[in-house]
Amino acid sequence: MTEEMNLDALRTDVLQWITDDPDKTSRDELYRLLDGLPATAPELADRFAGRLKFGTAGLRGPLRAGPNGMNLAVVRAAAAGLANWLDAKGAEGPVVIGYDARHGSRAFAAETARVVTGSGRRALVMPGTLPTPVTAYAVTKLDAAAAVQVTASHNPPQDNGYKVYLGRELGGDLGAGAQIVPPADTEIEAAIEALGPLSEIPLGDEGETLDESIVDEYLAAVATVVDPDDPKRLASVATPMHGVGGATLVKAMERAGFPAPTLVAEQAEPDADFPTVAFPNPEEPGAIDLLKALAIEEGADVALALDPDADRCSVAVPTGDGSWRQLSGNEVGVLLADHWMRKGRKGTYATTIVSTTQLKAMCERRGFGYMETLTGFKWLARTNADLAFAFEEALGYCVAPEFLRDKDGISASLVVSEIAAGQAARMATLQDRLDELAEEFGVYETGQLSVRVDDLSEIDACMKRLRAHQPTSLLDEPVTEYLDRLPDADVVTVTTANARVVCRPSGTEPKLKAYLEVREDVGGDLAAARERARASVEALKAEIAAVLGVPH
């Protein structure tokens, strides 16, 4: 009887949703699942377990009908909540709407525009599928109240999402063009929850389609991040990884004076199915194999990989033995920071609490301002009015905060290319510059312990074990600092003189992450120091896994 009652309640919830769902395709999808009951009960129960929540990353989830998925009904509600929130805040100006090439992105952008115009506000829609950084740039350039980018970044093909950026009026000097932070997310979520039936939301037209001049203005701006007098001779290869950054990257490189990079042909055009990669994320093992193969074939100086919405950038370099090595986000961040410091760029250099501490050492020795924030560019963007450069280890870099306070894989690629061309001019590589920095500051070896779970309570249990059994030593060195950031953030940092571990739940995936770092003095033998550091990171991984009670 109880099971029958649960099925009846589920059926009632589904039918009630269907009556208010504006999309026939979604309604038909749910009717088919209803026809399949009771076998389809688990699938329907998951779709109706709750509504996809609007957080600081906006929305992100699987493309499917029902409240716990990305679909036109959920997007209409999100757009209406955002429009009502902007009205409640008294924000003036249009809303810029951008979108990538994922399944559903164009339709979600059009639906957002109809809601925005229906609320009495102008909707300025990007002229086609474009990188997220172009939208982030446009929100301040066009003096908009806010911007929406429809994208799931580097998520699997079956996902889509919805990022929100604030204009100058609500974002202030530090948050203009940056992603939302609390309490904006909870206020927008409350505005969504306060909506009545979706059928009562007023809809207008699909807004004004911007012309290509906004892209040209973005390209003109990013071209200024490189010095016109620095070397530009460079052989580069690149991949947009089936995303929307390929054409923009090529134009930006040419505008800045570099030869156009050779793109991985199989990945050059947008493809929502991402057919050549298991997971469209440059960080994933094997994701840039085609890029490295092309680099060898072309005899390139540097290889660049954008993620699908082009707000992140990965870099690979030749090793000298004929193979190529992918740099970590920390290594690229350090190279970029070193470049700006040598160029004399004044201001604050910022990174996150899980990124390498090498930046702090560089700032202290060279006399530059330093700050660190919680993870996420929404925090890095708001670091300081004199922000010079910011990066996070997850391949995100802000090289031009004066016109774009968010991570941008396109402008970062230009600066990486400038460094690589400068190195090539003196018959050296990016790896050679990393070696020089190691000689100056020591070897900073980083690693990560990442544990995916099926039940989120497992992550809570691991963090409780860490807090209950605080380490007193790491790698036989005494702990010099144990920092628990509760209640502000579920993050624990354990530090010794030469090692550090930062543990936190992932903000976007069901994962527990431990970020590991070991520092080694070079002592006259860089190769030996690197080997010692790598071995120490592996030992540290085993040590912290035992404390957390997880496999490694």
Among 2-16, 115-129, 266-280, the range scoring the smallest mean pLDDT is 2-16
Among 30-34, 77-81, 354-358, 487-491, the range scoring the smallest mean pLDDT is 487-491
The DSSP bridge partners found for residue 159 are 62
pLDDT score, position 1: 32
3-state secondary structure of 486: coil
The DSSP bridge partners found for residue 59 are 162
As a whole number, mean pLDDT of residues 86-105 equals 98
Q: What is the C-alpha separation between 487 and 505, in angstroms, rounded?
A: 14
The reported pTM is: 0.96
Query: Above 80 in pLDDT, residue 38?
Result: yes
pLDDT score, position 510: 84
Pairing of strands 499-505, 481-484: unpaired
Q: What is the mean pLDDT of the chain?
A: 96
Is 417 catalytic? The answer is no
pLDDT by residue (tens digit) across 385-432?
999 999 999 999 999 999 999 999 999 999 999 999 999 999 999 999
Query: Above 70 in pLDDT, residue 2?
Result: no
pLDDT score, position 171: 93
pLDDT by residue (tens digit) across 505-545?
987 778 899 999 999 999 999 999 999 999 999 999 999 99
Cβ contacts of 115 within 8 Å, gap of 6 or more: 76, 79, 80, 83, 201, 203, 204
pLDDT score, position 552: 79
Pick from 294, 288, 289, 286: nearest CA to 235: 294
Cβ contacts of 28 within 8 Å, gap of 6 or more: none
Phi and psi of 507, rounded to 5°? Answer: -85, -10
Query: Above 90 in pLDDT, residue 551?
Result: no
The pLDDT-based confidence of 173 (bands split at 50, 70, 90) is confident
pLDDT by residue (tens digit) across 297-353?
999 999 999 999 999 999 999 998 889 999 999 999 999 999 999 999 999 999 999
As a whole number, mean pLDDT of residues 434-463 equals 95
Check 26, 105, 119, 153 and give the catalytic one.
Answer: 153
For 165, counting Cβ atoms within 10 Å of its Cβ (0-12 exposed, 13-18 middle, 19+ buried), the class is: buried
Among 116-125, 128-137, 307-316, 374-383, the range scoring the smallest mean pLDDT is 374-383
CA angle 357, 394, 287 (to 5 degrees): 135
